[in-house]
Amino acid sequence: MKRRLLSGAVALAVALPLAACSADAAPDRSPDGKLEVLAAFYPLQYLAQEVGGEHVEVSSLTPAGAEPHDLELSPNDVTRLSGAGAVLYLSGFQPAVDDAVAQTEPEHALDVAGSADLHAAEDGEDDHAAEEDHTAEDHAGHDHGNLDPHFWLDPARLARVAEAVGEELGAADPDNADAYAAGAADVRERLLGLDAAYREGLAQCQTRTIVVAHEAYGYLAEAYDLTQVGLAGLDPETEPSPARLREVAEVAREAGTTTIFTESLVNPEVAQTLADDLGLATAVLDPVEAQADPDADYADVMTSNLTTLRSALECA
């Protein structure tokens, strides 16, 4: 009985300060009155921060440095969704987030798939997936359908999404709608400048084939007239079969490839082994699915990627 009374007293002691806090700030506002924005993964977090500026408090459901494909949500994460002022997510990319959004039905939840104009993976991108040494059950939770979700690797596509983010933040926080519209316009201009740098930097290269750890670079390749060849398909956890490795090796030889690209969040062992067998170099080409370095934002990483590509492709 004493334990029950003590537990009740502790619960009351905790509840009182929480009630006081809730009286001071609305559920969709931070303690200092900023709009609480919850992004599903890093590129959307970046957009929310850049568009919202001083008017928003942004957090991500995917922890820094974590692989967003693997995201699982805790009950607390689901509660955060229901209390956020605005939620940004990409349907089909993180099934746990899709389920949580459907369950909580946030008032202002933006699915960026429409403005990103997603399309099917390139022909053949996943043809080799059936050969890989894993079961359908192992792959559950990583199914994007036939759509390539990695739109943010084309800065021009991300610029279109920035405009949609500005509109959604303005709807959630009408008092600052003009600021969000201005922020979106500024982000759009900077992203289009990055797009122009890629177009100029990759205009004249000795080879236009990129051999990558997994086929996350379809939109980048499409935008800048490159051809991507992946050891794995859209799922970074797929283990390439010996037949796939032989196929990639042949393509690399024919294309005059000098470099096989690894990733910051994917084990480079298979790519490194293939590079060693072929006498090729390796270099990191970051898919920017997560922020690996807190001091380097999306624009920094994409600029670094451009430098890496120009060197590996021997661009003029």
In the chain, where does DSSP find H-type helix? 2-24, 42-52, 75-83, 95-104, 113-116, 136-139, 155-172, 177-201, 218-223, 242-255, 269-278, 298-312
Domains, the chain, ordered by start: 16-195 (3.40.50.1980), 202-312 (3.40.50.1980)
Compute φ and ψ for 230, nearest 5 degrees: -105, 145
pLDDT reading at 236 higher than 90: no
Tens of pLDDT along 147-197? Answer: 999 999 999 999 999 999 999 999 999 999 999 999 999 999 999 999 999
Rg (alpha carbons) of the chain, rounded to whole number: 22
Residue-wise pLDDT tens digits, 30-81: 778 899 999 999 999 999 999 999 999 999 999 988 889 889 999 999 999 9
How high is the pLDDT of residue 133? 41
Residue 155 and residue 197 in contact, taking contact as beta carbons nearer than 8 Å: no
pLDDT at 269 over 60: yes
Confidence grade of residue 245 (pLDDT, cut at 50, 70, 90): very high
User: Is the confidence at residue 229, as pLDDT, over 90?
Assistant: yes
User: 136 falls in which pLDDT band (50, 70, 90)?
Assistant: very low
Q: Pick from 234, 240, 296: which is nearest to 269 by CA?
A: 240
- Separation of alpha carbons 316 and 313, rounded Å: 9
pLDDT of 234 > 90? The answer is: no
Residue 19 has pLDDT above 60, yes or no: no
24, pLDDT greater than 50:
no
